[in-house]
Each structure stands twice: as structure tokens, then as C-alpha cells.
Amino acid sequence: MYMIISFGHWVDGNPANYNDVYTLTKPLLCIGYETVNLNRSKKLNKVIDAMIYDCFPDGFESIFLKDTVNPISNRDLSNLMISQKSDCINPLSSDPATKGIITLKKLLQNLCEMFQVYWAIDGNGDFRIEHKEYWDNNGSYVTANEVDIDLTVIYPVALIGTNEYTFESNIPIREKFEFGDASNIDFVGNNIDYSECIKKGDEITHSAVDITTDITFVYLNTELSKVGFCLLHTQKIADQIPRFDIVTGEQIFDYEIVSEKGILSQKLIPNAHLSWANLHDSYWKYGRYMPYGKMNGVETDFQVRALKYQSSLSFPYCIGDFNPQKLIRTNLGDGAVKTASFSFKTNYITVELEYIDNI
């Protein structure tokens, strides 16, 4: 599905009036401050709700994007705004954008590359978007995943001859990140670098090229490509009297872009939380390929992802209530289910397990 932006309504008739207005306060040529009104933006959460409306009319669920205290960074991401980049380059244009063409798949891919979030249909049948840590912990930001079946106790015969394992062979030497446009050092960012741990490896590129977050650069450079979107970290302006939509009766508030100190520049910058430097510091220390490496040019400890894989093993379905999202204990440790299959002929489950294990 495509995102269609129109003033006051979605042209396909889906949930209406996403014309939240907010202001951007930014340094102007390091001389003073200018307030720029960007009144053609949409709340990201409402955009996603509209895009999945036909299948999920109640919208999506997300602790990560909808709670006022993000479970990973403790920031408020519930008021992220998305705007056509052309309207950020020239917010006073008499010819504003009326269509923002992007598929749901591409929008979610860009969010994945920025925040390390993934979507799935959860156990309640809801469309849910959460950080990798949530999914790895069986749907929790609070408690670690737990062992569901302990084969070392209840069916040790399944472990005979299964001590063979392999490690991930394609570990990157560095991870690169890119936006559609960026100039400020924080928004350009640095690689996550593992070259002090390993000497050979490919580079992985995390590409969010449909998104630009360096909003000051965008506003000051009218010659930039107008293709793509700006994503903005905003907060509701305090002590304001809301307006009301004449069609829906919904309250409409003004928002302002949040300024934050850039990790690399150490300067207070509008929208800095959505710079690569600050995104890395907040959301990318979990699930890395090595227990340590360089992030933002500084030696940093990471929580590693599963890189150790066990040969397949089988056990009868009747030994327990198999939950593929929970862990299985073997002689190699507590493994997460990588793949699982069930044989109706033998009534056996065959699984391949992966383990978190420092290399």
C-alpha cells in the first residue's frame, strides 16, 4: 500500500486528519534562532495505522513507538513526525506535496535500519513493531527469555551425537549506515567497527536512504533532491490550547522538534536523537556481532547476537508444550529455535538451535 498525503484527509478514506502542526526551532547560520512552521507533517504512528487499516483497523501495537518512555532509550518516540522532504526544503511553498509515495514494506525497512525494530503478528493477532531485544526475549523488554524444554533432563537421548556446532562464517568487519542526505557529523555518523577483533570480513550497510533526519541541512539547502521523507523527533509544546478538527472533533496540538546534544559534535542540535551517532548509542549496542568494538569512535562493549549453531536434533512432541519462541536446554547451553519442523508420521519435532556465545 502507498502512503497518500492530502490536507485534512487520506484520499482512500482511511482514518482522517493527520495534519498535526509543529514548529522547528533551529540555529540559523550560527547567528540567531529562527522559528520555522512545518504544517504539512503527519504523525508516524498514524501513518502506519492508515497503511495497515484494511487488515488491522485498530492499528498497530508497539511499546517502542507508542509508549511515552521508550523501553530501550527512555526517550519519548510517540510523537515522531514524517514529512515529504520537499515540504521541509521549502515549507512556505505555494505548491506543497500532496502525495508521499512509499510502500509499507519500504517504510518498515527504513525504520528497521534506523532503530533495529522488526514487525510480526503477535500471539494476540496484532500487528506489532518492536526492537530486536523484545523479540529475542519472547515478547518482553523486562525479563530475559526462559527455558521451555530441558532436554538434558526430560529427554537426554535426543542429545546423543549432537555436540557438533558451527559459528557464523560471515561476520562483518564493520557495519555502515546511511541516510538519504546528511551533512552534520552526527547525522553522517561513524561505522560500528570490529577491526580490532577480526582482521577480515565484509561490510554490512544499513540503508535508510528514503529518510533524512538532518533537518537543518535540509532547510538550508534548497538544491537537495526533493525525493524522500524527513523523520522528526518532536514533543508537544507545553501549555497550549488545542484546536479542534471541524470534521472529527479531534484535538490538534502544535509540536516542536526536540534538540539534543550530538554524541560526536557535543553540540545541542535539533533532531539529534535521530542522527546516526545518537541512534547507535541508544539502540545499537544490543545484538552486535562481537562483544566489543568501536562505536562513535570509542571502544564499546556490546551484547552479542546468536552466532553459534547446533546440528539439528529431534524429540517427541509429547514431552512438553513446544513453544518455538522460548529456549531449549541442551549440552551446549540454552538455545533459541532457528528452524523447527514437525513430522505427522513420527510425531517428532526437529529443531535447529542457535546460541549466544562469545567468540
Q: What pLDDT does 90 receive?
A: 81
- 47 in a domain, yes or no? yes
Clarify whether residues 264 and 319 are in a common domain: no
- Is 70 exceeded by the pLDDT of residue 33? no
Kindly provide the b/e burial profile for residues 212-243, where b requires at least 16 CB atoms within 10 angstroms of the residue's own CB.
Answer: bbbbbbbbeeeebeeebbbbbbbeeeeeeeee
Same domain, 185 and 226: yes
Domain housing 123: 21-137+169-304
Residues 109 and 66 in one domain: yes
pLDDT tens digits, residue range 71-108?
999 999 999 999 999 888 887 777 777 677 889 999 99
Q: Quick one: pLDDT at residue 99?
A: 74
Do 157 and 105 lie in one domain? The reply is: no
Q: What percent of the chain has pLDDT over 90?
A: 67
CA distance 333 to 288: 20
Q: Is 31 helix (H, G, I), strand (E, B) or coil?
A: coil
The per-residue pLDDT for range 276-323, each reduced to its tens digit, is: 999 999 999 999 999 999 999 999 999 999 999 998 999 998 866 788
Grade residue 6 by pLDDT with cuts at 50, 70 and 90. Answer: very low
Residue 48 lies in a domain: yes
Same domain? For 227 and 328 the reply is: no
pLDDT of amino acid 78: 97
pLDDT higher than threshold 80 for residue 65? yes
Res 5: pLDDT = 33
Closest C-alpha among 256, 272, 255 to residue 264: 272
Quick one: 341 and 200 in the same domain? no
Q: Are residues 317 and 220 in the same domain?
A: no
pTM above 0.85, yes or no: yes
Question: Could you tell me which of 89, 35, 113, 77 has the C-alpha nearest to residue 215?
Answer: 89
Mean pLDDT of 169-196: 95
Domain count for the chain, please give it. 2
Residue 3 lies inside a defined structural domain of this protein: no
Q: Is residue 35 part of a domain?
A: yes
Which amino acid is located at 244 in the chain?
F
Record the cell numbers describing residue 126, joined without a space: 496484532
Residues 266 and 312 grouped into a single domain: no
